[in-house]
């Protein structure tokens, strides 16, 4: 899709695009294809150094000695060091801006700096971020989703829920993230404790459906719907997260290798179409994410993320891997058009027609370890490309010393994970290794924040839906 990329770059030629974010990982994917693209992040990491080494324009507030009372993108945009950097990067024509969540405050600050935020109205995001408003919207638009009960939590009795939802139930706050406000099948004692903690709050109580969790991204571009690759959503692994409702990874190959049925694909497509039409009726544009539960070859929509999903940077890398990287003239040939590129093109008001393969089989997966409590990251490992090798591989035979950055999975030290080289993209790993991203040692993180991430070019979930043992063992060691 050379024409679309060229058109986007032409649009950015005299007006740069800046991605403002807490961590640099949020802003990667197209950084080597967009010609006037800049990253502005808060937190220092090995990835920041890798991006700089590859000539990517990136400003890191922590590396520049800047400090914030709270590590939010809102505060990043208005910090004096950030403002100075923006003035050095931006010309008289102003700039375009991207953020993970386009808030009204960020929009106001960016406009004052001469920028244009590419994103939907923040109030539209808030409507669908609210679990209760979202559930009501799904019901009103006849979108297939689990049965729900909505009320103030102190008015709900456990016996009522046990009777109404015989297969179990899920309690959710109006607003929650990464599973922190989701409670799956609480006991009567746990539910009564929730009533005390959430007194005065409305909650959504949903029917618990046992099935496979599927997530995907959709983009609305030029009034048409473009559906991304199916992902098996890895959720609630107790070794990786303190919450049974927390997402800890995605496997893009799982549903394809298990030969997903055609009638299920039709069912998923129908629910996507109804959801997209609902959003489009409110002038929603660009990317959004959908989570489904699959039971008995039927898809139930359980979540809309009316924004760029957290898995988009990794998906973008896989979409590019699924494309021929160079043509005869050396230019990129984007056979699988990245959804992120369509998202940017939509808000740049570009009208190029595209050929797009819906629901492509993107081979790759990622797994991440979350913080189990608030605290400081204690980490001695270096981010980069690693391989799981034999016990003899951990020794440098010339010096008879152990190699640097070796992670042992067992006490016998016969399963070493060994650092191979610097790298931050999945294509750096090839077919025999994987990428490990670590938070910088000494970084302050909250419960449920990401501590470490593994990304690999193939499936990490077996046919039964279980993570391969070595990956869980690695995360346990890192924990």
**3-state SS of the chain: helix, strand, coil percent to 5?**
30, 25, 45
Band of the pLDDT at 329, cuts 50, 70, 90?
A: low
Considering only CA atoms, which of 105, 80, 76, 104 is closest in space to residue 18? 76
Give the number of other CB atoms < 10 A from CB of residue 124: 18
Residue 111 pLDDT:
96
Q: Where are the domains of the chain?
A: 2-118, 147-208, 365-460+468-478
Contact status, residue 195 vs residue 154, Cβ threshold 8 Å: yes
Over residues 414-447, the pLDDT tens digits come to: 889 999 999 999 999 988 899 999 988 888 888 8
CATH code linked to domain 147-208: 3.30.1490.20
Q: Which CATH number fits domain 2-118: 1.20.120, 2.40.50, 2.40.128, 3.40.50?
A: 3.40.50
CA distances from 168 to 184, 196, 213 (A): 8, 21, 17
Over residues 387-422, the pLDDT tens digits come to: 998 877 777 777 777 788 888 888 878 889 999 999
Considering only CA atoms, which of 115, 63, 8, 51 is closest in space to residue 340? 8
Going by C-beta distance under 8 Å and a sequence separation of 6 or more, which residues neighbour residue 101? 73, 125, 307
Report residue 31 CA to chain centroid gap.
17
Q: Give the Cα separation of 329 and 92 in Å (integer).
A: 34
Going by C-beta distance under 8 Å and a sequence separation of 6 or more, which residues neighbour residue 167? 207, 208, 209, 210
Does an H or E element contain 406, and which?
A: strand 406-408
* 14 token code pair: 């005299």
Taking residues 99-104, what's their average pLDDT?
90
Going by C-beta distance under 8 Å and a sequence separation of 6 or more, which residues neighbour residue 448? 177, 178, 179, 180, 241, 242, 243, 246, 370, 371
Please report which residue ranges of 203-289 form alpha helices under DSSP H.
254-257, 262-280
Taking residues 308-323, what's their average pLDDT?
92
Band of the pLDDT at 323, cuts 50, 70, 90?
A: low
Over residues 371-383, the pLDDT tens digits come to: 999 999 887 789 9
């Amino acid at each position: 899709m050379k024409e679309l990329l060229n058109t986007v770059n032409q649009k950015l030629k005299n007006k740069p695009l800046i991605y403002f974010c807490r961590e640099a990982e949020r802003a990667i994917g197209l950084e080597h294809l967009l010609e006037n693209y800049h990253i502005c992040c808060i937190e220092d990491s090995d990835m920041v150094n890798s991006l700089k080494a590859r000539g990517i324009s990136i400003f890191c507030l922590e590396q520049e000695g800047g400090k914030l009372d709270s590590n939010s993108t809102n505060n990043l945009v208005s910090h004096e060091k950030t403002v100075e950097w923006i003035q050095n990067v931006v010309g008289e024509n102003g700039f375009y801006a991207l953020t993970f969540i386009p808030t009204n405050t960020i929009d106001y600050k960016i406009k004052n700096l001469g920028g244009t935020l590419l994103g939907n109205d923040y109030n539209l995001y808030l409507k669908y971020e609210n679990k209760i408003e979202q559930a009501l919207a799904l019901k009103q638009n006849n979108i297939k989703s689990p049965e729900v009960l909505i009320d103030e939590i102190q008015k709900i009795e456990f016996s009522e829920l046990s009777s109404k939802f015989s297969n179990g139930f899920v309690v959710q706050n109006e607003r929650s993230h990464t599973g922190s406000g989701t409670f799956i099948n609480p006991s009567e004692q746990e539910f009564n404790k929730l009533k005390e903690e959430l007194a005065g709050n409305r909650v959504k109580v949903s029917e618990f459906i046992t099935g496979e969790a599927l997530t995907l991204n959709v983009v609305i571009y030029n009034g048409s719907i473009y559906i991304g690759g199916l992902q098996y959503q890895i959720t609630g692994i107790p070794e990786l997260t303190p919450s049974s409702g927390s997402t800890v990874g995605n496997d893009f190959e799982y549903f394809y290798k298990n030969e997903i049925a055609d009638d299920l694909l039709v069912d998923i497509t129908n629910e996507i179409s109804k959801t997209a039409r609902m959003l489009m009726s409110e002038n929603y544009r660009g990317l959004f994410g959908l989570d489904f539960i699959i039971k008995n070859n039927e898809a139930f929509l359980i979540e809309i993320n009316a924004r760029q999903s957290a898995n988009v940077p990794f998906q973008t890398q896989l979409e590019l891997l699924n494309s021929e990287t160079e043509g005869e003239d050396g230019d990129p040939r984007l056979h699988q058009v990245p959804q992120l590129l369509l998202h940017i093109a939509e808000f740049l008001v570009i009208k190029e027609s595209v050929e797009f393969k819906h629901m492509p089989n993107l081979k790759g997966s990622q797994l991440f370890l979350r913080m189990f409590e608030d605290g400081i990251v204690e980490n001695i490992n270096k981010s980069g490309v690693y391989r799981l090798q034999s016990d003899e591989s951990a020794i440098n035979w010339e010096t008879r010393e152990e190699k640097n950055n070796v992670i042992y999975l067992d006490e016998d030290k016969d399963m070493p994970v060994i650092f191979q080289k610097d790298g931050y993209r999945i294509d750096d790993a090839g077919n025999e290794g994987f990428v490990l991203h670590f938070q910088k040692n000494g970084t302050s993180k909250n419960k449920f924040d990401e501590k470490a991430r593994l990304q690999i070019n193939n499936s990490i979930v077996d046919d039964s839906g279980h993570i391969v043992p070595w990956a869980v063992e690695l995360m346990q060691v890192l924990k």
